[in-house]
Amino acid sequence: MRSLARCFCSSNAKHPPKFEEHAILADETTFSVNEVEALYILFEQLSSSAIDDDFIHKEDFLLAISNGSSKQNLLSERLFDLFDAKRKGVIEFGEFVRALHIFHPDAREAEKISFAFRLYDLRHTGYIEREGLKEMVLATLREHELDLCLSIDAVEAIVDKTLQEVDLKGDGKIDEEEWKDLVAKNPSLIKNMTLPCLRDITLAFPHFVVESEVPDSELFR
């Protein structure tokens, strides 16, 4: 997600959503209507990079958040899956805004915890299972280029120790309540669930403050 933040740059939307759609998305998220307009510029850039069809395709999304790298990344793949809430293989604008809302500094912590849990629930079972946990540990190590520093046995030991500490029910997997307890003890686990730049996105698009069609009453809500 750090790389996704770099995609914010000013340009003109070719066909921005209607004001009513802006208002609905603003009402459902922490974003103001002006901020939704700003996000549409980013969405336009991402959705037109390969196929200009008003959808963000998987290849575009992965390239954006990996800063142009074509290297496969499990975390990035899982992020795309969660952004693609309708499971159509592409990300629509509404899905894009609602998912990014989770990363807003003012989003509720409970939403961030739940989103992170689903991120690690690789097989959509409602649990973080041992093999899934191992895959995520390896993916995290690869992302930071540390995968060559630890042997497979060391990774297995990390996974076993984590399960021993977190799996209070002793069923070999982590449920959502156990995950919440783990995050409460280790808040850094959801640190990457917050993008500070989302608080000031209209600063990257100053023309929205002047040119927005939003009534003045909406600007100061």
- Report the predicted TM-score, pTM, of the whole model to 2 decimal places: 0.77
| CATH H superfamily, domain 2-7+17-106+195-219 | EF-hand (1.10.238.10)
Element of type H or E holding 56:
strand 56-57
Segment-wise mean pLDDT, segments of 10 residues, the chain, 221 residues: 46 51 93 91 85 87 71 80 95 95 95 94 91 82 69 88 90 94 89 88 52 37 36
CATH number of 109-193: 1.10.238.10
Give CA–CA dist 38/21, Å, rounded. 14
With tokens 């939704």, the residue in question is 36
Helix axes 93-101, 74-83, angle to 10 degrees: 110
pLDDT value for 178:
95
Decide the pairing of beta strands 56-57 and 90-91. antiparallel
One DSSP character per residue, 118-172 reads: HHH-TTSSSSEEHHHHHHHHHHHHHHTT-TTTS-HHHHHHHHHHHHHHH-TT-SS
In the chain, ranges of CATH 1.10.238.10 domains? 2-7+17-106+195-219, 109-193
Give CA–CA dist 100/1, Å, rounded. 10
